[in-house]
Structure 1
Amino acid sequence: MIKHFTAIFIRYKGLLRCVIGLGFICFFLLILIDQAIGFYVRQGIYTDSKTIPYRPYGLVLGTSKYFAKNTPNLFYQHRLEAAQQLYRQGKVDYLLLSGDNRTLQYNEPRTMFRDLRKMGIPAEFLYLDYAGFRTLDSVIRAEQVFKAHSITIITQKFHCERALFIAKYHNIDAICFAAEYPSGYSFVRFREFFARLMAIWDLLIEKEPHFLGEPEPLPSPIAR
């Protein structure tokens, strides 16, 4: 048996080298794309609410409130805490809650609305985008449907980078406030490598949001 596998290895050694070499090249390209996107948008990302410029509209990117088996999703919790912080400090006037609304039971914008109300933010400053199925949808719809022409995106830093990359490509005036990244979730950051690759592909083929529809302009900025 060992001799049989040795013979196969010797016979296909050249092919195996090519496959391994191709794998290394693909891995290097993933790293390169990931780092290039982060470098390109780095100046638009803020981690200190005291230094972030005022923008009238905050775009909160949705995610599920729970992981499997009803485990709380800290990415969700930290995004809402960041949104509350910016609102209370007067860094945004209105919050646009954008997320997936795939079923009656799963509704990210509605869940964010309810939790932010419990956190003390009045309903008149909260607006819901039920068609934010992906980051691309949320960012483009904020500008084209809700007419939020100057926005602060609110999500974790790795997600900020992809969202800002999409915004820059579409000439959308946006910055991003990086919410806290929970420790112990390295798989989320690993998945982002492929999400960025898909984002580039979507931009190359000029993919549009699933739904646009009629404009629903948000209120004018509050006079200060």
Structure 2
Amino acid sequence: MKKIIFSIGILSILVLLFIWIANVQVSSSTKEQLFDTVDHIPYNKVGMVLGTAKQLNGGQLNYYFTYRIEAAAKLYHAGKISFIVVSGDNSRTGYNEPKDMEEALIEQGVPKDHIYLDYAGFRTLDSVYRMKAIFNEDSFTIISQPFHNERAVYIANHLQLKTVGFNAQDVTRKYGFKTLLREKFARVKVLLDNLINKKPKYLGSPILIGEGLKQEKVE
């Protein structure tokens, strides 16, 4: 019995150590690529908004969604991006993150023909990978909350893409406690995905962003 307890203790320590290493690695290796203000972030032709539900299960407003939309619109109107890809989940009837994000961006004054919808952004890995594989973009701005941007930019670095992250307003710790807890384990999954070169479940036909439109900075 003592040997079993000892073995469980050692295993638990190793698991906790791996979780700590994964989180430190993701945060420390991407901090120079994340920006909080419009003034300092470099221009990219395309910004990608990572998907989340418009509303919570109880019908309340999801502030992660609201703040990401506000951040994307802010970048667009400041001329820091010219086009926006909204990448999210559309895997079941009546649930359409990309369409909800598109409608919200249009309400914020972003032209519809400057918004592209990625319906297969089921995971952050999928969203980042598909920017190159589907939209032929290897240099772009990722838009989400800081913790999410760290992980997304880390994935992009592994895929040898040139990205920066624009940090949308974060939520309170109380509001985002469960999300931040899940993030600890999501970063472990990122390291494991990198080891096996995990690919998205779905790809699709190429889409050229800005085709037929004048590609210039928005003033």
Q: Same fold per TM (> 0.5)? A: yes
* Amino acid corresponding to residue 139 of structure 1 in structure 2: V
Tell me which of 150, 172, 192 is aligned to 1:161. Answer: 150
Tell me which of 160, 165, 172 is aligned to 1:171. Answer: 160
Aligned residues: 213
1:223 and 1:14 mapped to 2: Cα distance?
67
* Amino acid corresponding to residue 155 of structure 1 in structure 2: S
2:37 and 2:20 mapped to 1: Cα distance?
27
1:79 equivalenced with 2:72 (yes/no): no
Residue of structure 1 in register with 2:35 after alignment? 46
Identical residues among aligned pairs (%): 35
Residue of structure 2 in register with 1:206 after alignment? 197
Residue of structure 1 in register with 2:110 after alignment? 121
1:202 and 1:157 mapped to 2: Cα distance?
21
TM-score where L is the length of structure 2? 0.92
Q: Larger C-alpha radius of gyration, 1 or 2?
A: 1
1:117 and 1:104 mapped to 2: Cα distance?
23
Query: How far does residue 17 in structure 1 lie from its aligned partner after superposition?
Result: 3.0
Residue of structure 2 in register with 1:186 after alignment? 177
- C-alpha offsets along residues 162-193 of structure 1, whole Å, 9 cap, x if unaligned? 11111111111111101111002122111111
TM-score where L is the length of structure 1? 0.90
- C-alpha offsets along residues 57-93 of structure 1, whole Å, 9 cap, x if unaligned? 0000001111121121111111011001101101000
- C-alpha offsets along residues 95-136 of structure 1, whole Å, 9 cap, x if unaligned? 000001012300100010111111211111111011111111
- Give the aligned CA root-mean-square deviation in angstroms: 1.4
1:196 equivalenced with 2:200 (yes/no): no
C-alpha change, 1:114 and 1:223, in structure 2 (3 Å) is closer
- Whether the 8 Å contact between 2:87 and 2:120 is mirrored in structure 1 is yes
2:192 and 2:21 mapped to 1: Cα distance?
15
Query: How far does residue 200 in structure 1 lie from its aligned partner after superposition?
Result: 1.6
2:75 and 2:105 mapped to 1: Cα distance?
12
- C-alpha offsets along residues 135-180 of structure 1, whole Å, 9 cap, x if unaligned? 1111111112111232000011111111111111111111110111
2:197 and 2:10 mapped to 1: Cα distance?
32
Residue of structure 2 in register with 1:28 after alignment? 17
